Chain A
Amino acid sequence: MTIEPAIALAPAERAVNLIGSDLTEKSLKLHLDGLSGVDAVGLEQRAAGLGTRSIKTTSKAWALDTIIKLIDLTTLEGADTPGKVRSLAAKAVLPDPSDASTPRVAAVCVYGDMVPYAADALGSAWSNGADNGINVAAVATAFPSGRSSLPIKIMDTKEAVANGADEIDMVIDRGAFLSGRYGIVFDQIVAVKEACRRENGTYAHLKVILETGELNTYDNVRKASWLAILAGGDFIKTSTGKVAPAATLPVTLLMLEVVRDWHLLTGEKIGVKPAGGIRTSKDAIKYLVTVAETVGEEWLQPHLFRFGASSLLNDVLLQRQKLTTGHYSGPDYVTID
C-alpha cells in the first residue's frame, strides 16, 4: 500500500500543535509509528498486579458509590422500546428505591432515535448540556460496525445532537485503521466532532470507540488511542459491547497510560471509558484502582472516567446493601430493567 504524502488532513487543533501545520496522512503515520511499543506480557502482568489490591471497609464503600456515579447505564438492543428506555432512565435517577442515599449514575446511553424518550423520562434530572444532572449519551456513526459513508455518519450524529444528546459515542472505521489508512479514520473523527456542535456553539462530548477487540494488538490500541485524541476526542472508549473481547483491564490500563502521557505532554485531560464485560463490583473496583494508580485519583470523576455497563449497576447495589445491612440480599431486591 502506498500513502500519498500529499494527502492533507483536517487541521484538528491538537494534531497541528503536536505534529505541525503541514498535517498529512504521512506525518500522522510517522508520528503513530514512532510511539514506544507495548510488551503484551508486561502489560498484562501489571494489570494483574493492580487487580490484586484489596479494597475493604471504608474504601470499599467509597468505591461502590463512585462506581455508580461513573456508570453510563446502557441499553443498545435492536429490541429497545421507548418503554424500556423510560424504565432505564427511571433507574438512572433512582438506582435503589430502598435507599435514597444511593447516588445517581452519570448518563444513560441509548441509540440515537431513543434520545428524546430518554431525555423526556429523565425530566428534571436531565443535565441538558449543563454540568450537573444525568447526561443522555447516544451511539452514532453507524454503530456498532461503522460501515457506512461519512455523510450518513455525520447525519446520524447531527440528528442525535439535535434530539438533545449530551454525549456522542462514535465508532472508528476499524477497516481503514487496520489497512493503515489512518488519515481516513482521523478525518472522520474530526468531521464527527464538528457534527457534535450545537446551534449555540457548544459541543456534545465526543467519545471515540476504538473497538479494541478488533484491533488485535496492544500496539494498535496505543496507536488508535493517540489518533483519537489527536483528532479531538474528549473520551477514548474501549468497545461497543458487541464484539468479544470487550473491555479488559490490560487494554484499559494501556489507554490510561496514553491519557497520562497526553496530560504530561499538554496538560489536557482526556477521559477513558471501558465498556462491555464489566459485570461485577469486584471487577469494577479493579478498574478504579487502575485509574487511581495510573493517572491519579482525580480521574475518578464522571467527566474523566466512565463504565459502559448495564448489569454492573445491580451487582454494585447488592454489594452496597450488604455493606449497609451486613448481610447479602438477593437478585430480587434490586430492580431489573
Chain B
Amino acid sequence: MTENDKALSVKAPSFLDYAPAPESTSVLHLKKHYGLFIDGEFVDGRGDAFTTISPATEKEIASISNANNADVDVAVAAARKAYDRTWSKLSGADRGKYLFRIARLVQERARELAVAESLDNGKPIKESRDVDIPLVAAWFFYYAGWADKLDYAGLGPNPQSLGVAAQVIPWNFPLLMLAWKIAPALAAGNTVVIKPAETTPLSAMIFAEILQQADLPKGVVNIITGAGDTGQALVNHPDVNKVAFTGSTGVGRAIAKSIAGSGKKVTLELGGKNANIVFDDAPMDQAIEGIVNGIFFNQGHVCCAGSRLLVQENVHDEVVDRLKARLSTLRMGDPLDKNTDIGAINSKAQLDRIRELSNVGEAEGAERWTADCAIPENGFWFAPTIFTNVSTSSRIAREEVFGPVLSVLTFRTPAEAIAKANNTPYGLSAGIWSEKGSRVLAVADKLRAGVIWANTFNRFDPASPFGGYKESGYGREGGRHGLAAYLESAGWAAPAVTKGGKK
C-alpha cells in the first residue's frame, strides 16, 4: 500500500471513534499455572491440565489443573472435615465476620477481578467493573448480615445447615455466580466444593487467593477446575448433601435424574426464553434502552435475557426502527476498552451455536438485521442481531440462543401478550413496559416467570430472590428465599403418625 492509499483509507477523524481507552492489565499478577484449591492450598490436579484463553484474542492466559475423580474425593473429604470440625461449630456471628472480610477484600481487589473477568470471559470491562464485581461484593455483604440471623429466615427456630454443598456454575457471570452460590451456603453454615466453568476459571482462582487472604478456615471453600466430567463426579459424590447448579436445561435435567433418590437437596438455575413485553403506552426511549439492556447486556449470555420481544402491533415499526438506530451506536471490540459496549462471545462452541440458530431463523423465514460492526480478526464475535417477522413456532422464538440475538413478535391485546409470553417451556424472567401502573400489575400477576421487571430489565439485587418456573429450574437464589436452599428447619418435622391416632 502506498502512502497515498493509506491516506485515502483513513476515515475522516470522528469524535465518535473515541480514542482507545484500554483498562490497564498491570493490576493483574497472574500465575502461569493454577492448581486446584483444596483444603486452603493450591494443589495440582491429577487430570490433564488445560489452558484458558481470552475469547477476544484467542491468546492463552494460563494453564489450569484438571480435577479427576480422585481429586473430587479429596476436595469433598476436605469440605466434610472442615464442616465437621470447624465451620459447623462456629457461631453465626463468626461466620458473618469471615463473609464481611471476603466482601471487603473483593471491593479492595475489584479492579483486578474486573480485568481478569473481562480478559477470561470476553465481557466488556464496563460491565465487569460496574455490574459483576460490585454485585459480588454486595452478595457477600448481604449474606454476611444473615449469618447470625438464621432464626428469622422463615424456617422456624434454629434451622440446621445441610453439610457439604456441591456447586457447579456457568461461564456467563463467572465470579457473580460463584458469589450467588458460596455466600448463602457459608452464611447458612455449610462448606462448599465449587466447580467453575472450564472456559472461565480465572476469577475463581483469584477469589481463592482472596480466601487465603481472609484466613478462611481450610477446607470451608474448595474450588476445583475441570470440564463436564468433573462436575458430574462432584454432584454424584455420595458424601455431598446439597447440589446447586446453574447452566443449561439439558445438564440440569441430567443432574436431577442422576441424584434422584439420593436425598441430596437440589436447586437448579437453568435456561430461559424470556418475554420482554412493550405496550404502546410505554416510555419509548427508556423501553428501547431496556430492550438493548435486556438482550445485548453481556452479549446476551444471560439466562434471564429478554430474548423474545413482544411488541404491541401498533408501535411495532416505531420500536424496530428506533431499536436499529440505537443498536448502530453500540461499540463492539476489545473487552478491556472502557468504551466497549459489546464484547466477545465466550467460546467457539457458543459462537457456533449462535450462528447455527441464526441461520435456522433465516431459513425459517424471519427477517434478519445485523448492526454494522467491524468484526475483529481474531477471537469470537457476533454482531447484535434482530429478527423480525418471527412466528411463534420458529426455533429462534422457542429455543434459548444465549447470544446477542433478539426475536421480535407482535401482539394486539394484553391477553394475547400474556398468552404468548407464557407459551414457552421456560419461565425465568419477563419484562413489562407501560406507563400504566394498573396494567403492569395486572399483567405481572398472570405471567409465569420467577422474576418480572417493570419498566426496567436485568437489574439484580442480593435482597431479591431469583429463580425460575417450569424448565427454568427450581429453588430460589438471593434474598431470604436463597437461604432456604441451604438450610433445613429443625423443629418442623411432621409429627409421627401413631396407630389409632386421629387423622
Contacting residue for A37 out of B17, B126, B130, B281, CB 8 A: B281
Q: Does B501 contact A (CB under 8 A)?
A: no
Q: Which A residues lie within 8 Å of B91 (CB)?
A: none
Q: Are A42 and B283 in contact (CB under 8 A)?
A: yes
Q: Are B19 and A39 in contact (CB under 8 A)?
A: no
CA distance A60 to B339 in the complex (A): 14
Nearest CB in chain A to that of B286: its residue: A42
Q: Does B285 contact A (CB under 8 A)?
A: yes
**Which of A6-14, A50-58, A240-248, A314-322 is found at the contact surface with chain B?**
A50-58
Chain B binding surface, main DSSP class: loop
Q: Does A22 contact B (CB under 8 A)?
A: no
Q: Which A residues lie within 8 Å of B13 (CB)?
A: 58, 62
Contacting residue for B126 out of A39, A41, A52, CB 8 A: A52
Q: Which B residues lie within 8 Å of A192 (CB)?
A: none
Q: Are A62 and B15 in contact (CB under 8 A)?
A: yes
Q: Does A45 contact B (CB under 8 A)?
A: yes
Q: Does A292 contact B (CB under 8 A)?
A: yes
Which residues 16-54 of B have a CB within 8 angstroms of A? 16-21
Q: Are A41 and B456 in contact (CB under 8 A)?
A: yes
One digit per residue, 1 when the CB lies within 8 angstroms of any chain B CB and 0 when it does not, for chain A 252-289 equals 00100100000000000000000000000000000010
Nearest CB in chain B to that of A296: its residue: B16
Q: Are A58 and B283 in contact (CB under 8 A)?
A: no
Q: Which A residues lie within 8 Å of B339 (CB)?
A: 53-54
Q: Which A residues lie within 8 Å of B455 (CB)?
A: 39, 41-42
Q: Are A52 and B338 in contact (CB under 8 A)?
A: yes
Q: Does B14 contact A (CB under 8 A)?
A: yes
**Which interface residue of B17, B283, B455 has the most chain A CB atoms within 10 A?**
B283
Contacting residue for B282 out of A36, A45, A46, CB 8 A: A36
Q: Does A178 contact B (CB under 8 A)?
A: no
Q: Does A224 contact B (CB under 8 A)?
A: no
Q: Which A residues lie within 8 Å of B94 (CB)?
A: none
CA distance A57 to B21 in the complex (A): 9
Q: Does B290 contact A (CB under 8 A)?
A: yes
CB-CB under 8 A for A257 and B285, given A39-B455, A42-B456, A53-B339: yes
Contacting residue for B283 out of A36, A53, A59, CB 8 A: A36
Q: Does B209 contact A (CB under 8 A)?
A: no
Q: Are A43 and B14 in contact (CB under 8 A)?
A: no
Q: Are A297 and B16 in contact (CB under 8 A)?
A: yes
Measured CB to CB, the closest approach of chain A to B434, in angstroms, equals 9
Measured CB to CB, the closest approach of chain B to A174, in angstroms, equals 24
One digit per residue, 1 when the CB lies within 8 angstroms of any chain A CB and 0 when it does not, for chain B 163-187 equals 0000000000000000000000000
Measured CB to CB, the closest approach of chain A to B30, in angstroms, equals 24
Measured CB to CB, the closest approach of chain A to B432, in angstroms, equals 12
Q: Does A293 contact B (CB under 8 A)?
A: yes
CA distance A293 to B14 in the complex (A): 12
Q: Which A residues lie within 8 Å of B338 (CB)?
A: 52-54
Q: Are A288 and B15 in contact (CB under 8 A)?
A: yes
Q: Does A176 contact B (CB under 8 A)?
A: no
CA distance A254 to B289 in the complex (A): 13
Q: Are A38 and B285 in contact (CB under 8 A)?
A: yes
CA distance A37 to B433 in the complex (A): 11
Q: Are B15 and A59 in contact (CB under 8 A)?
A: yes
Q: Are A292 and B289 in contact (CB under 8 A)?
A: no
**Which interface residue of A57, A59, A62 has the most chain B CB atoms within 10 A?**
A59
Q: Are B18 and A54 in contact (CB under 8 A)?
A: yes
Nearest CB in chain B to that of A58: its residue: B19
Q: Which A residues lie within 8 Å of B435 (CB)?
A: 37, 39
Q: Does B357 contact A (CB under 8 A)?
A: no
Q: Does A27 contact B (CB under 8 A)?
A: no
Q: How many residues of A contact B (CB 8 A)?
A: 28
One digit per residue, 1 when the CB lies within 8 angstroms of any chain B CB and 0 when it does not, for chain A 86-115 equals 000000000000000000000000000000
Q: Does B258 contact A (CB under 8 A)?
A: no
CA distance A37 to B281 in the complex (A): 8
CA distance A52 to B128 in the complex (A): 13
Q: Does A163 contact B (CB under 8 A)?
A: no
Contacting residue for A63 out of B15, B283, B290, CB 8 A: B15
Q: Are B15 and A297 in contact (CB under 8 A)?
A: yes
Q: Are A38 and B15 in contact (CB under 8 A)?
A: no
Q: Does A300 contact B (CB under 8 A)?
A: yes
Q: Are B285 and A53 in contact (CB under 8 A)?
A: no
Q: Are B15 and A52 in contact (CB under 8 A)?
A: no
Contacting residue for A53 out of B17, B18, B281, B456, CB 8 A: B18
Contacting residue for B19 out of A38, A60, A292, CB 8 A: A60
CA distance A14 to B232 in the complex (A): 68
Q: Which B residues lie within 8 Å of A41 (CB)?
A: 286, 455-456
CA distance A53 to B17 in the complex (A): 12
Q: Which A residues lie within 8 Å of B15 (CB)?
A: 59, 62-63, 66, 288, 292, 297, 300
Q: Are B21 and A55 in contact (CB under 8 A)?
A: yes
Measured CB to CB, the closest approach of chain A to B188, in angstroms, equals 33
Q: Does B329 contact A (CB under 8 A)?
A: yes
Q: Which A residues lie within 8 Å of B126 (CB)?
A: 52
Which residues 245-285 of B have a CB within 8 angstroms of A? 281-285
Q: Are B289 and A46 in contact (CB under 8 A)?
A: yes
Measured CB to CB, the closest approach of chain A to B342, in angstroms, equals 14
CA distance A52 to B129 in the complex (A): 11
CA distance A59 to B338 in the complex (A): 14
CA distance A28 to B338 in the complex (A): 44
Q: Are A55 and B18 in contact (CB under 8 A)?
A: yes
Nearest CB in chain A to that of B436: its residue: A37
Q: Are B19 and A55 in contact (CB under 8 A)?
A: yes
Interface residues of B (CB under 8 A from A): 13-21, 126, 130, 281-287, 289-290, 329, 338-339, 435, 455-456
Ranked nearest first, the 6 interchain pairs of A and B with the lowest CB-CB distance are A42-B286, A54-B21, A54-B338, A39-B283, A39-B286, A59-B19
25 A–B contact pairs at CB < 8 A? Answer: A36-B281, A37-B435, A39-B455, A42-B286, A42-B287, A42-B289, A42-B290, A43-B286, A45-B289, A45-B456, A46-B285, A46-B289, A52-B126, A52-B130, A53-B339, A54-B18, A54-B339, A55-B18, A56-B19, A58-B13, A59-B17, A59-B19, A63-B15, A292-B16, A297-B14
Known: A55-B18, A56-B19. 6 other contacts (CB 8 A): A36-B283, A36-B284, A37-B283, A42-B285, A54-B21, A288-B15
